[in-house]
Every structure is written in structure tokens, then in C-alpha cells.
Structure 1
Amino acid sequence: MAIDGTRTRRWVKDGALGARRMRYGADYNPEQWPREVWRDDMRLMKEAGVNIVSLGIFSWAHLEPRPGEWDFAWLDEIMDLLHEHGIDVDLATATASPPPWLTRLHPEVLPQTADGTILHPGARQHWRPTSPIFREYALRLTRALAERYAQHPALVAWHISNELGCHNLYDFSDDAARAFRIWLQDRYTTLDALNDAWGTAFWSQRYGDWEEILPPRVAPTQRNPGQQLDFERFSSDAVRDHLRAEAAVLAQISPDVPRTTNFMVAGNVREIDYATWVGDVDFVSNDHYLIPGPAGRDDLSFWANLTGNLAEGAPWFLMEHATSAVNWRPANTPKRPGELIRDALTHVGHGADAVCYFQWRQSRAGGERYHSGMVPHAGSDSRVFRDVVRLGAELEALAPVTGSRRERAGVAILFDYESWWVSGRDSHPTDRIAYDAEVQAWHRALLDLGVRVDVLPVGASFDGYEVVIAPMLHIVTDELRARLAEVVADGRHLVATYFSGIVDEHDRVWLGGYPGALREILGVSAEEFVPLLPGERVALASGAAATMWSERITRVDPDVEIVDTYAEGDLAGAPAITRRRVGAGTATYVSADIGRVGAREVLRALADQAPVLRGDALAAGGDLEVIVRLGADARFVFLANRTDDAVAVPLGGEILSGSAPIGDVAEIPPRGVLVVATSLDAAAPTAHPEVSAVLA
């Protein structure tokens, strides 16, 4: 993970972002409403317990109605009004969407798609990340805001742009081409090194001059894989460079106010490697929107878990999620009873010290008018607003949790953005497999077993984890291979799945057989991938089944145990799952897509060697997800109900939120979360010692 571990992060400045005060609020867009609504907003915010808002995110056209002509009067007024009512402000630089006059004067700032289409104004984020003209105007606005509001008493944080790269990450313009060449020269130094990395001897692609290199625009057939990967890296870095540019202006003028931008760590956003961005913000912020249906709660937990580990266990800011329905899915269903509070408290369990929504008041006009808000179209006499008020009270009761850190689990699932990018590329053995689905299958299998897990960026340290799981870890460098080998050599346990270790950092295949870079660690070699056609299914001897992927393993080292075999078809009798023993350590290879159920059985069988996989007694057999935060003098355990039924648990410790005790038992309602605190001295170890039995 490209993070300077010695860097001190500013999160809480006593009274700024709030020790002993859980932050609660929303994006606030008062410019969408007449002034008579503003006072009503203050009253309702007070009722709901709102104590922070993100302000000015899409207000550039209001702040600078004509080039160089500023109108701060309305923002002055609303900043003062919020301060008067005890509500702090996370103030945006307002650069997310340029005003109409800017793109009329400078249409060359508009982004361009791979096929040459210009993306015009009329929506948002219609700007090129590498445009020097846009950068000039954006930094001018950032400077003007910083100079005016740096000392305002309501200001507690700067919000740089908004969801950077959400709609304009991949720009194929001439500006992007020039910036891409500079990025490549910095990375490779010489054209010979670039030609080698990209394998340009194939299809007569060898470059003789840097000016010959373009972004991977639309071409007659498959584009160069190395070029595509580097353009994805460059695009993530280009938007990050804009973040850094605005942050530098703020640091110069307003050095004491922490700076952040809202990441989009979620299953529908794979294009930005947020592990490389963490060092550029003073605290991590994230936006997440629930997927409707039974899988949604585990999906939310997965991405919140990853966000907490991107933040290295420190508290972070949930900048946006939805009170109910969104507006951009094919069918936008409302949240079910209990889900608003469950979703918020699950994020808190994974380290969020702030819970905010898009947006405060549901819009009457515009593209997101059917996106829910804290105050819906129906007004304050509504189910949503009553839940909003209830959540405010719950968060107030959780004040003791603030400032605590996520307690590390004993199991890690590795997550790698670049493997996500590359494993889903065109011209692969199949287009049916999906990296995020495979990773989440193993995550859900662990939750089913009641096992606490950390979703860990692949660049983070693996030290201290008894079990490290690497699902579809497609890109493996020499350095990463050595770190994975160390897990096994240390007497710990590695589990890797199909299509792992296949390519190096340039998307070049490791030669000698699959799984490439991991062959020696796992002690097996496969000659061929055997992907399955739609409708095909291959059973394993254990009863598990593959529906998309299998492999022909032809070499098994003497110290490798065959755990499972293929039971039918051309691979009948061939190894499907293997385990190599190295002293007390093991390296397990799963060569087929066995899904959540199959993964669960592999982990259950491994529990004899890795006791951490036996699960937590607090998890009620997997009905509850156990999440732990560790404070200076208390341990806070969040028990999130994964079911649609009530779950009763024996009571111990102090209930902070989620249930009233009935005797010595607490009942967690469907889709509910129970939060219990216990003193560290009173805590007793469970099946794995880093978790305390706060409910015994």
C-alpha cells in the first residue's frame, strides 16, 4: 500500500471533528431552495441531531456567476446560520462541475471518450483531469474560498471536489495523451524499457518516439494489455494529481483545517486505486450505496471493512449513503424497516466516526430528484424522517466509541485493484468470472462461519494474520510472491484461488505453467485452464461444483496433499483443491470456482490447522457479524444481524445501542445492530484471543 506509515494523520482536533461526539449529517444544498426554507432546515436538523454538513459541493456557478466575479453573500449567510445553530461545516472547493460560462469560453476542457466523442455540459464532471486550463480556474476558485473561509468558526474540514473521477476518469483527449507520455517517461525512463514491458514486438507495435504513444483509443481489435493497464494506472494518478493540487492551495492558506475527499470504495467503482490515495488526505472519507436484496448487507460490510483497512484502522468519515432509495438503478426500491440504522451502525462498527447522507433535503428538480434524502418529498411527517431522528439519538449514545480503532482480525482477505482491472480484461480464457464476486464469496463464507476478517489492501502488511486468503490475485510481483511465501514459512496459512499469480506487474504471463508466480509456494502446476461454457457444471468429489472455471493440474509436489478432486468430465480424478504443508504452515490452492458454499467447506476443513477459522461464539452460528473497535479503556462490540429474524444473545457488558435487555438476554431485531461496551479488564478471550467475550 503506497502509504507513508510514519505520517501522522489529523482526524480529531479536540472539538473539530469531535472526540466523544459522533458526527451526523448530510450534503446540504441550500442554493436549491428559497431562503424561507433555510430556517426550517435548521429546526429539523436540530430535531434530527445533525451536527455537520458538507456544503457548496456543486455551487461553482453560484459562487462565480461570471468569470472572476464572486458572489459569496449567500454562502456567508448560510455559514453563519449553521454556526448559529451549532452545526459544523465540511466546506467543498466546489470544483466538481464547471459552470456553463467556463465550457463556453474553453470547450477544450471537455473530456473525450475512447471513440472521440466529446462529453458536453448538461450533467456533471464535464472536465478533463489533465486540462491545464481547467486546473487554473479550479485552483483560482479553491484559493478564493480558502482565503474567505479559513477562519470561519463553522469550518472543521475542507472537502476537495466531489467523487473525483466518478464520470470523467478515463479521458482520451490530446491533453490526456500529452500527460500520459510524461507519466510513462517518468515510469520507464527509456523507450526500450517501455517496449519490453508492453511486449510491443507483438503486432508490430514497437515505438521509436515518445510522441507515437497514444491513450488506448478505439482500435480495430484487442488493444495492447500493458498499454491498457498503464493507462488505468495513469488515469487514477491523474485524478489524484488534481486532488493534490487543490490540497496544496488549501494547505498554504488554511493549514490547520484537515482536508479530505470522498472516495467511492464500492462494488460499482473499480477504476481508482484508493490505496494509493490515502496519504493525500488527512482523514479517509467514503461514499457507499446499498445494493437491494439479501446480498446487500454483506456487500456493505465488505466495502466498509476495506475502507477501515485503507484508513489503517483509524476512524474515517462516511460522507454519503442513502436514507432509502437511490435513483440510478433499473428498479430503485426503498430500504426495508431497520435497514437505515443497520447500515449506518455497520459502517460505524468498521471504523466510521461520522455518518452522513446524500442529501439533507430531497431535491425537487434535477437529475437526482428521486434520490432519497434525510427530509423526503413527503416532509418530516414520514417514516424516513422518523428513522433519521431515531438514528441521531442512537449515534449520540455511541459517543464513547469515537476515536477508537478497529481491532485487527486474525484472518485477512487480500484485495487488489489492479488484479480487479486486469482479470476482467478482454481476450481472456473466459469473460464469465468476476474478481469482485470471487473475493466477496470468500468474505461471505467467513461471515457464515462467524469468523472476523479484515479486507486488506494487498500492499498492507500481512504480519499477525493467522490466515491470508488471496482470491483471484491475478497480478503477482516478485515482491508480493516473497511476502506470500513468508506467510507459509512463518507457520501460518495461505489460501489462493484460480487465475491467481498469472501475470506480472506489466500483465505479462509468468512462464512455466499456472498458477505462475505462485507455483512453488503452492507446490502444484497446471498446463491448461479449462473454463466452462454457460450451462456446464463440473462436480467435485466433495460435492462442491464448478460452473465457470476449472484447471488441468498436472504436477503435484510430494509435500502436497490432494484435498479434493474433479469427479466427472475430462478432468475426472484430477486434483481440484490441494494443500502443501511447510512445517506448521500450509498453502491451499482452489483451482475451481466453488462459490460461497464450497469456500465455506474449505475453510471449515482448514480450521484444524488454523483455530481462528472455528468462528466466534458471539456470531450465533453466522447469524450475526461480529465487528470490534478498541478504545483506550473499553472494547466496543457491534453485533449486526444478517438475518430477517430476531436473534437472542446472552447479555454481558453495557448496551450502548440496539436493544433493551430482557433479563440477562438481549434480542437483536431483524436487520438490527447491538452495540455493547466492556472494560478491557473485564474482557475474557474467546476462540481467538484478539476478540473479547463481551457477551458470555
Structure 2
Amino acid sequence: MPAAAPTLISSLSEGEGLVFGCDYNPEQWDRSVWPEDIRLMREAGVGLVAINIFGWSTINPGEGRWDFSGLDEIIAQLHAAGIRVDLGTGTASPPPWLTTTHPEILPEGIDGTVFHQGGRQAYCPSSPVFRAYAAEVTRRVVERYGSHPAVTLWHVSNELGCHNALCYCETSAGAFRTWLRDRYADDIAALNTAWGTSFWSQRYGSFDEVQVPAQVLSLRNPGQVLDFQRFSSDEQLALYRAEAEIIRAHSDIPVTTNFMVTAHIRALDYWSWTADMDLVANDHYLDRRIANPRQELSFAADLTRGLAGGDPWLLMETSTSAVNWQPVNLAKAPGELTRNVASHVARGADGICFFQWRASTQGAEKYHSALLPHAGTDSDLWRGTVELGRMLESLGEVAGTRVVADAAVLFSWENWWAVENEGRPSEEVRYLDQVHAAHTALADAGIVADIVRPGSDLDDYRLIVVPALHLVRDEEAAVIARAVERGATVLVTFYSGIVDAEDRVRTGGYPGAFRQLLGIRSEEFAPLVPGQSVALSDGSTASVWSERLRTTDAEAIASFVDGPSAGHPAITRRAQGAGEAWYLATQPSPEAYRALVARLADAAGIAAAPGAGPDVDVVRRVGADAAYRFVINHGADPVEVAATGTELLTGSAATGIITVPAGAVRIIKEDV
């Protein structure tokens, strides 16, 4: 990375500890409101404010017209109050005058629908017209404020690709063809080989014949779809790079953008973005549409830490309570906000920022919660904001410390695309479900895991879980095999190793790339229908998947008792070098999964965190002189946890055992 994240994040708080911040949209309010907002920000302890995120139509209200008076004034007021500024380039959404003048920049959906102005991100990512106007806005903003003492961070656009990641217009098609020429060295024969275009008479004679994989009468070519997903992620990154380059030419202030590491966004391969970030920042909101939003939060935080290379990171956006974009937008329960914030900090966040400061009274997000609610300051919500500021202040010394993990879970956005593209063996196999199941099993067993990219160095890990790594390169599989040789325990789960980077099936038997390492050979998938469960010989039950495999030189630990693969191994183990390679050919129940990874962790010499369990998170951050044990009780009953040191939130001494009340958080500073 261009600079060390701990140094950068500490600069955002001027060395005062953790960052407490928010988005602020002063253009939504009369200027007479601004001084009161700033006074209340200081009362709450807010130290970093993101502004001009959606300011394009305010600072550039028409072609060639510029008005920075409001931005000048609010930056001056924030600076006078000692509040630092995360300054947006303002390019997140084009203004109506631009889409009216240049309707050709509007994005197009898979079915040919043109998406019009009226929401946000109403632009094609590949549009040279949009890029030129966005570059001009960025240049104007950075030239004006690039050396302003209030500005401590540059914020490129906002949630790039949230709505317009996949555009199917002719401009995108032309850019896709250019991208393909580069990827395949201008060799159309190489593209035909990669995509298997001899199937269904799809062979191309030139790159000019290639289109985007828009809506068709049948299944689409999977190689074409996968490359389009790669291209689309790269186009969004190109938008970021173009603005960042302009900023860096005029300012030495750090540059970032807000990732969306969350359950419902899969279009961007953030592993390929991290080298361009001066620090890693993420937006995360509880997704009540999934089965376990709390565990998804923990996974997202661990993955964001992985993107940051283990360094502390910044939570750029979250909510104090309800959001506005889910079918039912639930308010957070008492204590839930504290537990959410503690979970992010425990897993590496050195800053917590919220969308937004003052709840809007108009617009699409008027029912989204905020630090200052519609009810005003005479409300429990506001008192909670002030208490949150005190909590983050009390945890200041945690800043700069790191999470240390002995276990790892491999994760890949590219694999996510491949697993869930069309024509697969079972739509019940959803990649993120498999990754979440593995991560949850580890967490419930008291094992903290890093989330790492396939192909990354695995030397620091004693237990490595590889869930549904369907698409894997030879070199990535070799890294996993070397980890086993040197003594690691590896658990590979079903639907792994099946295809190469071109989505080509590896022949000779499943699981392809891992067949030799695991000492097994599977001839046929036998997925289960929704709601179906099968019994295993160890007394557990499983669902979703089975397969008809046999061992070559592995040991069968458990077998299918019934179902379409009755009599075949379900869990296998093979010793290799100094380590062990395990295979899981089905989706075990949560209890069985937890027991399995606990067994493997124990055998690998990894001690479970005392007191951790399905309702209790225990995570440690470690610094040079102290360690901090976070205990987050999500359950309805108090728990006792072994701890010695000082509890930071209450100031009380921990002398061996502490009691953590139901729904409470305790953070113990331990001497090291």
C-alpha cells in the first residue's frame, strides 16, 4: 500500500485514538442550521465529517457554471471547530443538466432498458463523456481544496458500482472489446479457446463480432459472462484511478473510496483494488434479509481486514439504527448498536463513521437513521449518539493494534461469480452461504480467522478452510498443497477445484485441482433438493449436497447413511507431509460444522478463545505493550469469561473472571 494504514488512520483523529465520524450533506439544509449542527457534532465527539459526496449539482449547477461558496463556508466552519474533513470529489451521481445534454451517458440494463436520471449513479462506467466531466469536477475540487488544512482524506465518488456495475450499452460493448483484445493479446483464437465457443456455434471471427452478454433466449456462454464480470470490476476501478490520479497531482492528502464488503454486493473484485487505496474503507449495514446478519457483520469486518493486509481499516458508513432499503427496516434493539460497533473495532476497525449526521426530511433516504434523528436531541437516539462518542473515546488506546489469527478462510469474488453463474448443478449452492457457514463454524468454536485471497501466502496459518473454491488456478492450488506439506491442517469443502480460470472443467474426476492432495476421486455430483437432509455415520445430519466419491489414499471419517450417495464417504482425511488435508462432501448442520472445525483446530494446536460460543464473540487485538480482549455477548443470559486486566468501558479491574451481562460488551486491557 502507498502508506501504512495505522499512520493514516491515526492522522484522521490527529493521534487522539479511534475515529468517530459521519457523512454530512449541508446542501440539504439552510445555512442557518450549520452552526447548530457543528456545535452538536462537537458535543457528540464527532471528529471527521465526509462532505461533498453528492455535491456535483450544487457546486456545478450548469454547463460551465461553478459555485463553491457553500462548500467554502462549511469547510471553514468545520475547520474552525476542529473537525477534520473527508472531502468527496462530488462525482457519485451526475446532475440532471448533464444527463439531459448527454443522454448517451445513461446506463443500460441486461434487457436493453435505459436507466434514466432520478436516482443515483445514472451513468455508464465506460462512458468517455461521463469520465471527462467527472475529471473536470475532480480537478476543480482538488485545485481549490488540495492544501486546505481541514482536509485530511480524499473520498473518490461513492460506493462505486453499487447500482451501475454491469452496463450493457454499446459504449460498454466497445470498451469490453478493447479489454478483451488486451486480455487475449489481440488473438481471437485465444478468446475462442478460453470461452469454448465451438459449443452452440459461437466461434468468433474477429473481436468486432463480440457483444456484451446481454439477455438471450437461452443460457449464456459462461466464459463470456465471467470475463464481462471481470471487465466490469476493472471499469469501476478505472473510474477510481482516473480521479485518484488527478487528486495526487495536486495534493499529498491520502486518497480512498468506500468499498461495499457486504452480503448483497458482489460485482467488484476488491482484491484487485487494494493496491490503489491509501487506506481501506468499507460501508456496512446489517442485512436483515439473511439468516444471520450478526455473523455476516463479523465476516465482512474480517474480510475488510484481509483487504487491508491486516492493518487497521476505516468503517466509512454504517447506521445507528434502521436503514430504508430493505422490505422491513427494523430498528436496532437496545444495546445492538454498541455490539455492532464493538464487533467492527474488535476485528480491526480504527474508525467508525455513520450515514449520516442529520436525518433527511426529503429524498429517498429520509427514513434512514442518523446520528441526529428526526426526533432531535430530546431523544434516546441522540443520547445514544453521545454515549457512543464516549465509548469510542474510551477505546482510543486500541488504535493501531492488530488482530492476530492462526486460522484462515479463503475467499474470492471471481469464484463467487463462477459459482453462481448460469447452468450450475444446484442453485441451492450459493457461494456466500458456504463461506459464511465456514466462518460461523470457526467463530462459534472460538477461532478467529483471517479472510485471505487464493494464492496468498499461508505460512502464518495452522488451520485453513477452503469453502466451495470452484474456480481455482494451478498455482493457487499449489499454495494450499504446500501449506499442508509444511504442517497446516486444510479443510476443503464440496464444489471446490472443479474449473480453472477460464471456467473449464478439470477432467479426470472431481474435485479436480485438489484430487491428489485430498486422496479422493468423485465421479458424479448428487445434490440434494431443498429441504432434504441426509444422515451421516457419525450421527450428524447434512443438507444441500452429496456426491459419489471414493478414497484413493485417504481415510473415510464419516459416510452417507442415506440419500443419493448412501455408502459413499462424506468426510475424509489424508496425511500429507507434516499436515493433513480434509474433505467435506456435504453441508453439515451448524452444530456438526462447529464440532468438526473445533476438532481440526485442536489437532492443529489452536486454542479456542475461552468463553466464546454461538452467542459470544471473543476477539483479541494485540499491540507492542498491551492486548485487548473484546467480549461481545449477543445472548439473553450473562456469561462468565476468564480475564485479567482493566475493563476499559467501566474502568473496573478484571481479576480472573468477569461477568458479561446479556447483550453487553466488555473490553479488557491485558498486560503482555
Match of 1:87 in 2: 83
- Counterpart contact for 2:220–2:422, Cα < 8 Å: no
Match of 1:657 in 2: 649
Look up the SS of the partner of 2:93 in the other structure: coil
Compared CA separation, residues 322 and 252, structure 1 to 2 (3 A): same
Residue 12, structure 1, aligned to residue 12, structure 2: no
Q: Residues 256-275 of structure 1: matches in 2 within 5 Å? A: 256-275=252-271
Of 608, 611, 625, the residue aligned with 2:617 is: 625
Paired letter, 2:491: V
- Counterpart contact for 1:20–1:403, Cα < 8 Å: no
Compared CA separation, residues 437 and 217, structure 1 to 2 (3 A): same
Of 514, 517, 521, the residue aligned with 2:513 is: 517
Q: Could you list the per-position Cα deviations for residues 183-207 of structure 1 after superposition, in whole angstroms to 9, with x for gaps in the alignment?
A: 1111111111111010001011111
Paired letter, 1:335: K
Paired letter, 1:541: S
In structure 1, C-alpha distance between the alignment counterparts of 2:601 and 2:125, rounded to whole Å = 48
Match of 2:276 in 1: 280
Q: Give the RMSD, CA atoms, in angstroms.
A: 1.7
Match of 2:298 in 1: 301
Match of 1:493 in 2: 489
Residue 571, structure 1, aligned to residue 565, structure 2: yes
C-alpha deviation, 1:491, in angstroms: 1.8
- Counterpart contact for 2:526–2:547, Cα < 8 Å: yes
C-alpha deviation, 1:148, in angstroms: 0.6
Residue 45, structure 1, aligned to residue 38, structure 2: no
Match of 2:192 in 1: 195
C-alpha deviation, 1:570, in angstroms: 4.1
Match of 1:214 in 2: 211
Match of 2:164 in 1: 168
Compared CA separation, residues 70 and 608, structure 1 to 2 (3 A): closer
Residue 333, structure 1, aligned to residue 330, structure 2: yes
Match of 1:609 in 2: 603
- Counterpart contact for 2:443–2:613, Cα < 8 Å: no
Q: Residues 673-684 of structure 1: matches in 2 within 5 Å? A: 673-680=665-672
Residue 154, structure 1, aligned to residue 150, structure 2: yes
Residue 232, structure 1, aligned to residue 229, structure 2: yes
Compared CA separation, residues 17 and 11, structure 1 to 2 (3 A): farther
Match of 2:480 in 1: 484
C-alpha deviation, 1:265, in angstroms: 0.4
C-alpha deviation, 1:309, in angstroms: 1.1
In structure 2, C-alpha distance between the alignment counterparts of 1:572 and 1:123, rounded to whole Å = 53
Of 235, 242, 245, the residue aligned with 1:245 is: 242
In structure 1, C-alpha distance between the alignment counterparts of 2:138 and 2:13, rounded to whole Å = 22
Compared CA separation, residues 486 and 441, structure 1 to 2 (3 A): same
In structure 1, C-alpha distance between the alignment counterparts of 2:651 and 2:631, rounded to whole Å = 11
In structure 2, C-alpha distance between the alignment counterparts of 1:437 and 1:136, rounded to whole Å = 40
Match of 1:138 in 2: 134
C-alpha deviation, 1:208, in angstroms: 0.7
In structure 1, C-alpha distance between the alignment counterparts of 2:174 and 2:13, rounded to whole Å = 40
Match of 1:644 in 2: 636
Residue 358, structure 1, aligned to residue 348, structure 2: no
- Counterpart contact for 1:439–1:472, Cα < 8 Å: yes
Look up the SS of the partner of 1:329 in the other structure: coil
Match of 1:446 in 2: 442
- Counterpart contact for 1:659–1:674, Cα < 8 Å: no
In structure 1, C-alpha distance between the alignment counterparts of 2:325 and 2:462, rounded to whole Å = 41
Compared CA separation, residues 422 and 294, structure 1 to 2 (3 A): closer
Q: TM-score, normalised by structure 2?
A: 0.97
Q: Could you list the per-position Cα deviations for residues 400-454 of structure 1 after superposition, in whole angstroms to 9, with x for gaps in the alignment?
A: 11122222x1111111111111111221111111111111111111122111211
Match of 2:546 in 1: 550
- Counterpart contact for 2:359–2:367, Cα < 8 Å: yes
Look up the SS of the partner of 1:645 in the other structure: coil
Look up the SS of the partner of 2:451 in the other structure: strand
Compared CA separation, residues 299 and 519, structure 1 to 2 (3 A): same
In structure 2, C-alpha distance between the alignment counterparts of 1:215 and 1:476, rounded to whole Å = 24
Compared CA separation, residues 544 and 152, structure 1 to 2 (3 A): same
Compared CA separation, residues 64 and 53, structure 1 to 2 (3 A): same
In structure 1, C-alpha distance between the alignment counterparts of 2:157 and 2:602, rounded to whole Å = 50
C-alpha deviation, 1:277, in angstroms: 0.5
Q: TM-score, normalised by structure 1?
A: 0.93
Q: Could you list the per-position Cα deviations for residues 261-316 of structure 1 after superposition, in whole angstroms to 9, with x for gaps in the alignment?
A: 00000111111111110011100000000134882221111100110111011121
- Counterpart contact for 2:497–2:514, Cα < 8 Å: yes
In structure 1, C-alpha distance between the alignment counterparts of 2:140 and 2:601, rounded to whole Å = 59
82-91 vs 534-543, greater mean Cα deviation:
534-543
Match of 1:598 in 2: 592
- Counterpart contact for 2:543–2:589, Cα < 8 Å: no
C-alpha deviation, 1:487, in angstroms: 1.3
Match of 2:663 in 1: 671
Look up the SS of the partner of 2:7 in the other structure: coil
Paired letter, 1:360: W
Match of 1:585 in 2: 579
In structure 2, C-alpha distance between the alignment counterparts of 1:339 and 1:460, rounded to whole Å = 35
In structure 2, C-alpha distance between the alignment counterparts of 1:323 and 1:361, rounded to whole Å = 11
- Counterpart contact for 1:473–1:501, Cα < 8 Å: yes
- Counterpart contact for 2:493–2:586, Cα < 8 Å: yes
C-alpha deviation, 1:456, in angstroms: 1.9
Residue 467, structure 1, aligned to residue 463, structure 2: yes
Look up the SS of the partner of 1:337 in the other structure: coil
Look up the SS of the partner of 1:91 in the other structure: strand
C-alpha deviation, 1:596, in angstroms: 2.2
Look up the SS of the partner of 2:39 in the other structure: helix
Of 396, 401, 404, the residue aligned with 1:399 is: 396
In structure 1, C-alpha distance between the alignment counterparts of 2:226 and 2:655, rounded to whole Å = 59
Paired letter, 1:300: L
C-alpha deviation, 1:66, in angstroms: 0.9
Compared CA separation, residues 317 and 19, structure 1 to 2 (3 A): same
Compared CA separation, residues 528 and 659, structure 1 to 2 (3 A): farther
Q: Residues 80-119 of structure 1: matches in 2 within 5 Å? A: 80-119=76-115
- Counterpart contact for 1:661–1:667, Cα < 8 Å: no
In structure 2, C-alpha distance between the alignment counterparts of 1:646 and 1:659, rounded to whole Å = 19
- Counterpart contact for 1:19–1:402, Cα < 8 Å: no
389-398 vs 596-605, greater mean Cα deviation:
596-605
Match of 1:437 in 2: 433
C-alpha deviation, 1:672, in angstroms: 2.6
- Counterpart contact for 1:20–1:401, Cα < 8 Å: no
Percent identical = 47
In structure 2, C-alpha distance between the alignment counterparts of 1:113 and 1:659, rounded to whole Å = 56
In structure 2, C-alpha distance between the alignment counterparts of 1:608 and 1:88, rounded to whole Å = 47
Structure 1: gaps of 5 or more residues: 681-696
In structure 2, C-alpha distance between the alignment counterparts of 1:205 and 1:177, rounded to whole Å = 17
Of 550, 555, 560, the residue aligned with 1:561 is: 555
Aligned length in residues: 669
C-alpha deviation, 1:180, in angstroms: 0.7
In structure 2, C-alpha distance between the alignment counterparts of 1:569 and 1:243, rounded to whole Å = 50
Structure 2: gaps of 5 or more residues: none
Look up the SS of the partner of 1:611 in the other structure: coil
379-388 vs 123-132, greater mean Cα deviation:
379-388
Paired letter, 2:648: L
In structure 2, C-alpha distance between the alignment counterparts of 1:657 and 1:219, rounded to whole Å = 58
- Counterpart contact for 2:107–2:115, Cα < 8 Å: yes
- Counterpart contact for 1:658–1:672, Cα < 8 Å: no
C-alpha deviation, 1:542, in angstroms: 1.6
Q: Could you list the per-position Cα deviations for residues 309-354 of structure 1 after superposition, in whole angstroms to 9, with x for gaps in the alignment?
A: 1101112110000000001111111001111111112111111111
- Counterpart contact for 2:628–2:667, Cα < 8 Å: yes
Residue 410, structure 1, aligned to residue 403, structure 2: no
- Counterpart contact for 1:412–1:456, Cα < 8 Å: yes
Compared CA separation, residues 622 and 172, structure 1 to 2 (3 A): closer
Paired letter, 1:99: P
